[in-house]
Amino acid sequence: MDDCIFCKIIKGEIPSYTIYEDDIVKVFLDINPNTNGHMLIIPKKHFLDINDIDEETRMHIFKIQKQMYKLVEEKLDAIGCTFAQNNGIAQDVKHYHMHLMPRYQNDGWKNVYDKSHIKNVEEIYEKLK
């Protein structure tokens, strides 16, 4: 994918603060972090999203998520973390990636989302059950 930012990061054409890499994934700091240490775990091979990525690679990313969580606990004194993986309208960069956002006391997380569109939980349950 010639015009993919993350493919360019993998090829070294765009610099990144790389935390970890192996044959399958690269982990680097997000350029616009939501919390300190916000990082992205991405496959070296270009996949679009959760429907596109193969299960073996996805499971490897799951394994690395746990290792990176341990790292931020140890090195940044994180006391939690939030993972996010966006698809479709939620996804800006169209190369599969897993966000790891270390969490801290008073990290302002509760203010990240506007909840004004949220409907009654029972109404949503009726549609999903």
Site residues for Zn ion per CB under 5 A: 1, 4, 6-7, 46, 95
Is 82 or 86 the residue whose CB approaches ligand 5GP more closely? 86
What is the 8-class DSSP label of residue 91? -
Decide which of ligand 5GP, Zn ion, none touches 14; Cβ closer than 5 to 8 Å per partner kind. ligand 5GP
Q: Pick the closest to residue 29 from 71, 1, 92, 87 (CA basis).
A: 71
Active site residue 97: yes
Decide which of Zn ion, ligand 5GP, none touches 24; Cβ closer than 5 to 8 Å per partner kind. none
Among the listed residues 95, 97, 99, 117, the single catalytic one is: 97
Instruction: With beta carbons less than 8 A apart as the criterion, state whether 48 and 94 touch.
Output: yes
CB of 15 to ligand 5GP, least distance (A): 9
Question: What are the residues whose beta carbons fall under 8 Å from the beta carbon of 26, sequence distance 6 or more?
Answer: 9, 10, 16, 18, 20, 41, 42, 44
| Alpha carbons 95 and 5: distance in angstroms, whole number | 8
- Binding positions for ligand 5GP, rule: CB under 6 A: 5, 14, 16, 28-32, 86, 91-93
Residues marked active site are found at 97
